[in-house]
Homo-oligomer: A and B are copies of this chain.
C-alpha cells in the first residue's frame, strides 16, 4: 500500500514532499486509541513556504487549489513517515481553512484540491467528510491550512 500511494502519485506527476517539522512544542502526528491526529499542514514544499497571502488579492483560485493539494501531500507524507498507509483504515474528516478577501466565494472549488487528491490516491480509504472555514490570520501569512484525522486498523 505505501508503494501504491507513491505509484499513484507518480501517475499524477506528484511526489511526497519532505515532512515539515512542528513550529512549536507539539507532535506532527499523534496516535491515541485507534485515531491518528495530524497537526495542521500548510503549503510547504521541502522547507519553502509557498502560497502566502489572501485569496482574491495576492493569489487566485487556481493557486488556492494547488495550495490545498500541497497541504494534502504534506499530510500524506506525515502518514507515510509516521504511521504507514498499510495500517490505515481510512481518512475520517478534513477541516479546510482559508484566508480570502470579502466577497470571494470559490472556497468549495479550492477545497477540492485536497479532497480530489485524497480520493484519487487512496480510493475508498480516502473518503472523508469536510469542513470549510474562512479565517483571518495564519502563521507565516499562509493562505490555507489543512487539519485531518485518520482511523487505524
Contacts from A to B (Cβ < 8 Å):
22-30, 32-35, 37-40, 89-95, 97-100, 102-105, 107-109, 111-112, 115-116, 119, 127-141, 145, 147, 149, 151
Contact = CB atoms under 8 A, between A and B. Distances in A.
A141 B104 CA distance: 9
B151 A25 contact: no
A129 B93 contact: no
A12 to B, nearest CB: 15
B129 A30 contact: yes
B133 A25 contact: no
Contacts of A129: 26-30, 37-39
A104 B134 contact: no
A112 B23 CA distance: 9
Given A89-B32, A137-B107, A130 B40 contact: yes
A128 B26 contact: yes
